[in-house]
Amino acid sequence: MVTLLEEAVAEALRGKDGETIRLYVAACAERMAPLFMGPRAGTAGREVDLDFSAESVRDLWQADRPLSDAAERVSMLEWFPEFQPGEEGITDDADTYAFFAALVLRYALLANGSGNADDAVSCGHAALTAMGMLDQNVTGAGFRAQEQRLQFLSVSGDAEGLWDASVTAGRERFRTVLGRITGGGSAPRPLRPRSRLGRPACCLGTAVEGSTAATNAKPNTSSPSSASNSQDLWIGVSRSSSRPPCRRSR
């Protein structure tokens, strides 16, 4: 169900310039990124994918101009296993949220390169869908409402505090999902980007469009699954980078 606030955000995006669109999707990607980075940290063969994702989220915050290689990054991202689900689709909690985080990043890169408001709307919708699922699985959670508020802030004309708010929101989401998939766990240590941008290590097989995987994504409502290497899970994608520049009020 689309709310009046969501409609207002979509309408605002269609009337804004490219810089506002780029800032909006950067913030969406920042908030969702820990849900990809956390579950995938420590997974053999995903190191380059993790670096690629962290670097892309960081670079999206340079919102004054589009990334020169945005289209190339989209192509790289589409080779991720998250867009190549098995016959049963996505049923595990961690995989579900990792998929939506990757999908948000895909739309964010598309919108960054094209300046297309519809790509930005799709980016925001994917984030809201994931937060709606999380709310359904956590009693008393209000992540979807939080996402709506932050999306509105992104297009309100004043980006002051948006980066801090997005990093904080991402950490809260991560801790909640971590609690579901591990039943707790030791304090995570951050993963810092190490390599220069390159082709993902998982580039095998045929990429599957995100919409197909989204249709099959079903959060697991049974007992939380175990997750090894929880000490390596991620908090705050932009933690290792300096504070990004913010757009001035308009």
Query: What is the per-residue DSSP string for 123-134?
Result: HHHHHHHHHHHH
Closest to 77 (Cα-Cα) out of 39, 124, 41, 110 = 110
Backbone angles phi, psi at 48, to 5 degrees: -70, -35
Cα separation, 230 vs 43, in Å, equals 11
Distance CA 202, CA 79 (A): 7
- Enter the CATH code of domain 4-240: 1.20.1590
DSSP state of 68: T
pLDDT at 84: 86
214-245 residue pLDDT tens:
444 444 433 333 333 433 344 444 443 445 55
pLDDT of residue 231: 34
Would you state the pLDDT for residue 90? 74
pLDDT attached to residue 234: 45
Which pLDDT belongs to residue 183? 67
pLDDT at residue number 25: 98
- The pLDDT score that the predictor gives to residue 93 is 86
Angstrom distance (rounded) from CA 88 to CA 97: 16
What is the three-class DSSP state of 92?
coil
The pTM assigned to this predicted structure is: 0.76
List, for the chain, all residue ranges whose pLDDT scores fall below the cut of 50. Answer: 185-242, 247-250
pLDDT of amino acid 243: 55
Report CA Rg, the chain.
17
